[in-house]
Amino acid sequence: MKYLLILFTAFAAESISAQSNDYYLLKPSKVFDGEIIHTDWVVLVKGNKIAEAGPMTFKLPAGTKVLDLKGTTLLPGLIEGHSHLYLHPYSETSWNDQVLKESRAERTARAVNHAKATLMAGFTTVRDLGTEGAMYDDAGLKSAIEKGVIPGPRMIIATKAIVAKGSYGVKSDNPDVDYPKGAAEVANKEEMANEVRTQIAKGADVVKIYADYRWGLGGKAAATFSAEELATAVGIAKSGGRQVVVHSATQEGMIRSIRAGVHSIEHGDDGTEEIFRAMKENNIAFCPTLAAGDAITQYNGWKKGIEPEPQRIVNKKKTFAAALRSGVTIIMGGDVGVFPHGDNAREMEMMVEYGMQPIDVLKSATSVNADVFEWGDRIGRIKKGLLADLIAVEGDPAKDISDVRNSIFIMKDGVIYKSP
State yes or no: pLDDT of 331 exceeds 50.
Answer: yes
Q: Cβ distance 66 to 23 under 8 Å?
A: no
DSSP annotation of 175: T
Give, in order, the Cα–Cα distances in Å from 338 to each of 222, 297, 304, 316, 321. Answer: 22, 11, 17, 17, 23
Stronger pLDDT, 5 or 56, i.e. the higher one: 56
Rg (CA), the chain: 21
What tens digit of pLDDT does each residue of 82-132 get? 999 999 999 999 999 999 999 999 999 999 999 999 999 999 999 999 999
Give, in order, the Cα–Cα distances in Å from 25 to each of 61, 108, 191, 389. Answer: 10, 37, 53, 14
What tens digit of pLDDT does each residue of 84-98 get? 999 999 999 999 999
Q: Cβ distance 25 to 42 under 8 Å?
A: yes
pLDDT interval class at 19 (50, 70, 90): low
pLDDT at 20: 65
Distance in angstroms (rounded) separating the CA atoms of residues 41 and 241: 36
DSSP annotation of 56: S
State yes or no: pLDDT of 11 exceeds 70.
Answer: no
Distance in angstroms (rounded) separating the CA atoms of residues 382 and 384: 7
Region of residue 93 (left: phi > 0; alpha: psi -120 to 50; beta: else): beta
Distance in angstroms (rounded) separating the CA atoms of residues 397 and 356: 13
Distance in angstroms (rounded) separating the CA atoms of residues 42 and 360: 23
Q: Which of 24, 23, 41 is nearest to 32 (CA)?
A: 41
State yes or no: pLDDT of 4 exceeds 90.
Answer: no
pLDDT interval class at 21 (50, 70, 90): confident
What tens digit of pLDDT does each residue of 349-383 get? 999 999 999 999 999 999 999 999 999 999 999 99
State yes or no: pLDDT of 1 exceeds 80.
Answer: no
| Residue 59 burial (CB count, 10 A) | 8
Q: Which domains does the chain have, with CATH numbers?
A: 9-76+380-418 (2.30.40.10), 78-372 (3.20.20.140)
Q: What percent of the chain has pLDDT over 70?
A: 95
Q: What is the pTM assigned to this prediction?
A: 0.95
DSSP per-residue letters across 338-374: SS-TT-THHHHHHHHHTT--HHHHHHIIIIIHHHHTT
State yes or no: pLDDT of 2 exceeds 50.
Answer: no
Whole-number average pLDDT of the chain = 95
State yes or no: pLDDT of 39 exceeds 60.
Answer: yes
Q: Cβ distance 227 to 256 under 8 Å?
A: yes
